[in-house]
Structure 1
Amino acid sequence: MEFAFTDEQQMIAETARAFFAENATSARTRAAMEGDGIDTALWRDFCEELGFSGISIPEAAGGAGLGLVELAIIAEAAGAHVAALPMLGSLMLCAPAIAAGGNETQREEWLPGLLSGATIAAFVEDPSLIVQNGRLTGGSRYVAHGALAGLFVVTDGSGAWLVRRDAVGVSVTAQTTMDQTRPLAEVRFDGAVAEALADPAEGLAAANRTALVGLAAEALGGAQASLDRTVEYAKERVQFGRPIGSFQAYKHRLADMMVEIEQARSAVYWAACAVDEGSAEAPLALHAAKSFAADTGFRCAADMIQLHGGIGFTWEHDAHLFFKRARSIQTLLGKGDWHREQVAAMILGEAA
């Protein structure tokens, strides 16, 4: 596998970093948190001006036809600024599911709106979902951006269906959410009319791969930003006549953060490369990347709060935005313990 970025990937990385640094400011993120959890202008520019929304969607389906390495680059840049965008549901789960598992009619109907940002989609998983004669009964309390979705991709773990928000029998209730940049909603179906994906197995597999890499890359971006901001603070904050970054104990904490981040970076891009290259290691790499990067993001955000001292514990400081995002990433798409169990089973087999 080639772990060095190509010239095209370097250009994408520079463009993404510059875009989020200029536009995904703390003030705009907090304004979105006070509203519906989305920075609408940022979302429009992300989708329409830069075309990042279809980065990993095949060209035949209207996307850019690139891979998960490029998606990871963009997700890492977004995570570094805790961007208030509905990337998880619309672009990491639903769009790949429809592109890979939908028929031509389903792709033509939904993908243009998803990739332009005009339509927001949310992913609903309910293992106990009841399906009878094309109607669904069930739902979930924890659907990212569910309150804003115009389309739901619903699964019981094996089948997958498309349900319109305005269908009879669909109810949505916004929830009080820890990470206000990724608000959750309770979505319930009571005999709602659903349209089955043409190839649910392929669609769900594509969604799972894309979302695991995307979330891991988000966590990596948040961890790196936590370290960078803490280093800058360590240079400016003076105690006992010296910058606090000159104290040995402080240096050790920063060094520990850096080591974990570099390991997480290797895990994230290993997973993205493995998927793009069709490697047999891909399933193992995906579980490793999600568990390691999510935990690294959480630890670095927590260290950021502690190493900023008293100011880090105030709501006005952005450290809390990173901490809450990192905590939510840990719980999405399987907790770290579950992913590590999958890694153990793959490596050790029955001995696990």
Structure 2
Amino acid sequence: MTDLLYSETEDDLRAAVRSLLTDRADPSVVLGRIESGDPYVPGLWKSLAGDMGAAGLLVPEKLGGQGASHREAAVVLEELGRAVTPAPYLTSAVVATETLLALDTESAPVAELLSGLAGGRTVAVLAVPLSADPDAQPPTTDRVTGVADAAAADVLLVLRADGLYAVPAAEATVQAQTPLDLTRPLAAVTTDGTSGTRLADPDTARAAVRRGLLAGAGLLASEQLGLAEWCLEETVRHTRERYQFNRPVGSFQALKHRMAQLWLEVVNARAAARAAADALATGSPDAPLTVAVAQAYCSKVAVRAAEECVQLHGGIGMTWEHPAHLALKRAKSDQIALGSTGRHQDTVAALVGLPAPA
């Protein structure tokens, strides 16, 4: 029987990641970085990916990784979601890594890339729009817009008509775009069509990209879970400390009901996100369905939690100085990342044989 509870190892990993983010990327640091135009905290990726080894969780030990699973990677993403951390973990350590693991890992170019990713020395980004979902036909063009974390990439994985290529970022044109979520930069990526090393033929490349996007969508639910948990905890803390009419505002029944309802939704989101991570970790044949269910549910919960966080904080929640707006923008951006809620609902309907309404 599937056990979705956190293991002792996962709890230890959570504590280590949370401690690092508290020390190096607290809300005041993130708020200051997004105003500078470069949201990535200097040295944070080296500490998280290289020193802690979080970037290599999905990579087998023989290739220099930790040989862990999607469950452990999900724990890391929960903490990154809680802190709305600007880091290319989802795009590099999950999507790009999973895409490469679907290729021939015995080949020198793939093995070398995976070793660099596992050690935190290399950041790779799959050059597809952030909105691309696992069931969509990814673009086979040398200009792709809306690529998340391309600005942080050392290598771009570019899908062309004749296969998948690894293109050094220095040989591509990366033009920044204006995102809603300033902690996850977007860019238009242009390559000349001849640069890079060919890693796979077209059929293998398409299957690998789908695997990478499926893993990304499944673990994105854990990021959304972490964000929703922070929003709920921060809202409960604030309403306990904020007094009105000589009483904590959290003691008013109307607010109690709103927070209790949100707690139920967060608990359900945790079950959905953990199920998706476990299905990916075990290679379950139901993984596409479990991932679609998690995304269809968790994206809504994250947005609702962020909206409640802003509203129940009152005036301070609307200010730039409070991190609530970071959570709301990340939640809204994640709502269309790796497939919209509607796309995942369509996937659920197709997989279980539910006809769409006439």
Fold equivalence (TM over 0.5)? yes
- Measured in 2, the distance between the counterparts of 1:349 and 1:26 equals 43
Q: 1:83 aligns with which of 85, 94, 102?
A: 85
CA deviations over 1:161-214 (Å, ceiling 9, x no partner): 2222233xx322111222111100111233232433334255324312321122
Counterparts of residues 302-317 of structure 1 (less than 5 Å): 302-317=307-322
**Superposed displacement of residue 92, structure 1:** 1.5
Q: 1:166 aligns with which of 167, 170, 177?
A: 170
CA deviations over 1:131-176 (Å, ceiling 9, x no partner): xxxxxx4322101111232211123699432222233xx3221112
State the secondary structure of the residue aligned to 2:122.
coil
Q: 1:138 aligns with which of 142, 145, 150?
A: 142
Give me the CA root mean square deviation.
2.1
Counterparts of residues 100-249 of structure 1 (less than 5 Å): 100-103=102-105, 104-125=107-128, 129=139, 137-155=141-159, 159-167=163-171, 170-198=172-200, 199-249=204-254
* Contact 2:55 2:119 (C-alpha < 8 Å) held by counterparts: yes
Counterparts of residues 66-77 of structure 1 (less than 5 Å): 66-77=68-79
CA deviations over 1:100-158 (Å, ceiling 9, x no partner): 3144212333223323333222221275855xxxxxx4322101111232211123699
Summarize the Cα distance change of 1:345–1:192 in structure 2 as closer, same or farther, 3 Å threshold. Answer: same
- Measured in 2, the distance between the counterparts of 1:58 and 1:36 equals 32
- Measured in 2, the distance between the counterparts of 1:295 and 1:262 equals 13
2:304 paired residue number: 299
- Measured in 2, the distance between the counterparts of 1:254 and 1:78 equals 23
Structure 1: unaligned runs, 5 residues or longer: 131-136
CA deviations over 1:225-244 (Å, ceiling 9, x no partner): 00000000001100111000
* Contact 1:216 1:268 (C-alpha < 8 Å) held by counterparts: yes
Summarize the Cα distance change of 1:31–1:11 in structure 2 as closer, same or farther, 3 Å threshold. Answer: same
Summarize the Cα distance change of 1:349–1:307 in structure 2 as closer, same or farther, 3 Å threshold. Answer: closer
- Measured in 2, the distance between the counterparts of 1:254 and 1:157 equals 50
* Contact 2:217 2:339 (C-alpha < 8 Å) held by counterparts: no
**Superposed displacement of residue 280, structure 1:** 2.4
Which piece of structure 1 moves more, 76-85 or 206-215?
A: 206-215
Q: Please tell me the residue identity of whatever aligns with 1:108.
A: A
* Contact 2:151 2:187 (C-alpha < 8 Å) held by counterparts: yes
Structure 2: unaligned runs, 5 residues or longer: 130-136
* Contact 2:58 2:68 (C-alpha < 8 Å) held by counterparts: yes
* Contact 2:219 2:277 (C-alpha < 8 Å) held by counterparts: no
1:62 paired residue number: 64
Summarize the Cα distance change of 1:314–1:285 in structure 2 as closer, same or farther, 3 Å threshold. Answer: same
- Measured in 2, the distance between the counterparts of 1:211 and 1:265 equals 17
- Measured in 2, the distance between the counterparts of 1:235 and 1:157 equals 58
**Superposed displacement of residue 28, structure 1:** 1.9
State the secondary structure of the residue aligned to 2:305.
helix
* Contact 2:59 2:114 (C-alpha < 8 Å) held by counterparts: no
**Superposed displacement of residue 272, structure 1:** 1.1
- Measured in 1, the distance between the counterparts of 2:279 and 2:152 equals 33
1:134 paired residue number: none
Q: 2:275 aligns with which of 270, 276, 279?
A: 270
Q: Please tell me the residue identity of whatever aligns with 2:69.
A: G
Q: Please tell me the residue identity of whatever aligns with 1:348.
A: G
- Measured in 1, the distance between the counterparts of 2:223 and 2:67 equals 21
* Contact 2:128 2:146 (C-alpha < 8 Å) held by counterparts: no
Q: Please tell me the residue identity of whatever aligns with 1:218.
A: E
Q: 1:93 aligns with which of 92, 95, 112?
A: 95
- Measured in 2, the distance between the counterparts of 1:171 and 1:102 equals 28
Summarize the Cα distance change of 1:76–1:157 in structure 2 as closer, same or farther, 3 Å threshold. Answer: farther
Percent identity for Structure 1 against Structure 2: 34
2:134 paired residue number: none
State the secondary structure of the residue aligned to 2:192.
strand
- Measured in 2, the distance between the counterparts of 1:156 and 1:285 equals 30
CA deviations over 1:9-34 (Å, ceiling 9, x no partner): 22222222333233320122123322
2:55 paired residue number: 53
Q: Does 1:9 align with 2:13?
A: no
State the secondary structure of the residue aligned to 1:28.
helix
Q: Please tell me the residue identity of whatever aligns with 1:139.
A: R
- Measured in 1, the distance between the counterparts of 2:264 and 2:23 equals 28
Aligned residues between the structures: 344
1:22 paired residue number: 23
* Contact 2:143 2:190 (C-alpha < 8 Å) held by counterparts: yes
- Measured in 2, the distance between the counterparts of 1:265 and 1:339 equals 18
- Measured in 2, the distance between the counterparts of 1:328 and 1:158 equals 32
